Amino acid sequence: MTGNINDLSRYSQYDTEKLDLIKEVLREFKPIDMVKCYYQKISFEEDAILESSMDMDIDADKVPLESRPGELREIRKSVLKAIQFSEPEKYCPECGRQYPKEEVVCPECLVHLKKISDKIDVCDIKSEPKFIFNGKNSYESFEDLLNKGNLLKINEFDFTIDDYQTILHDIKYQAFLNFNKLVKENEIDFDERDILEKIILFAKSFVKVDYKSSGSQLGYFESDVISIDDRQTDSLQITTLIHELSHFLIQEILIHILCKLLDATRNSLTESLLTFILSYAHFTQLIDEYAAHNVEGRFTIFGFQDYSSFTQIEQSMDGEMTSEEIEITKSIGNTFAISIKEILESLIDREMREEIKEQFLKDVMERPNYRALEMENCQILNDEGFIKAIWLILNDGCEVAASNIDKLLSIL
């Protein structure tokens, strides 16, 4: 298979559903004569969220008990003794140890206890979601993974759109298994949860979820963890989780494709390789960000779509890519977004999407801004073009990675 990014424009077509929807919204809310979604470049400044924090998190598990005050050791002894003779009514949300009702703090973890009878907080639920791809080959080094034979297989790219659909099905199926296990093991009444709790549970069916308390980022995805800022409104936490889940799913789709091509077992090496491929060049960064913003926008009310991180990358390139090439990255991102929305909408149904809208209307204070809709690209790739785009991402990415083993090791 041969080609380059500019060749992909021959395989693009209008996403008519998206184009008609954007035209309708802009016609209703803004007095404009014509909406041009393709190759239209709008220049505007995004409002930046600037925050600072003096918060410092202390990991109590890393503080040896012997270095704590003697009083704490005595408390620990008395509490553990009391546990032997009392019916437990409280538990530690960190270690899970149970305590009698008169106790307030876990002396091991230094956190407040919660009543066993209370509804479990979904934020406290630990998840270890697994997405498995088993092949005949299990590589233990990047040199073996990226050997000449494997680079040739990737270049030949024996992969079809039916193979792609099978991969989407497998990821969706595994997510449902993870979700079902999470709900049953924690005895959760899902219907009684609010919309943020539901989205957190869905997110934990794909990745681990952690919480950050400093910095201006609403959230980020790294390795198998999404970190979000729980100081934000519920609606922003929801859209942040969906945005970061999109990054995970693009990576996961490409990992499965790579393993299918090489008949390889998914492991930390394939994960690290795809992390490198999606971040080493502006080409893949733009695809990744545009797809994530596109998916996030699906679950956001009109007027609050956001493409800020995409435009930041675009503005930092200093002419590295032509406007036509940038539009092609958007088309590739749009096509990935269709698959990701298909996966997420199988979990986040129409009723839940209405709950998200209601939560958004409760939280938002600023006026809607429809300019982000004007910069939307309404082009997608047909099946042949999309397969070529995936080949371009993996083939070029693996060739560069094979010459940068040190960088791969730093990610591992």
Instruction: Give me the percent of the chain exceeding a pLDDT of 70.
Output: 83
The predicted-structure confidence for 150-208, as pLDDT tens digits, reads as follows 999 999 999 999 999 999 999 999 999 999 999 988 888 888 899 999 999 999 999 99
Q: Once rounded to an integer, what is the mean pLDDT over residues 218-233? A: 88
State pTM to two decimals.
0.78
Is residue 360 within 8 A of residue 304, CB to CB? The reply is yes
Residue among 290, 378, 380 nearest 19 (CA): 378
* Rounded Cα distance, 380 and 16, in Å: 10
Instruction: Give me the percent of the chain exceeding a pLDDT of 90.
Output: 54
Q: What is the pLDDT of residue 60?
A: 46
Q: What is the pLDDT of residue 214?
A: 65
Burial of 150 (0-12, 13-18, 19+ CB in 10 A): buried
3-class SS of residue 99: strand
Is residue 211 within 8 A of residue 121, CB to CB? The reply is no
Q: What is the pLDDT of residue 52?
A: 36
Query: pLDDT tier at 49 (50, 70, 90 boundaries)?
Result: very low
* Rounded Cα distance, 331 and 386, in Å: 9
Query: pLDDT tier at 305 (50, 70, 90 boundaries)?
Result: confident
* Rounded Cα distance, 203 and 3, in Å: 37
**Summary mean pLDDT of the chain:** 84
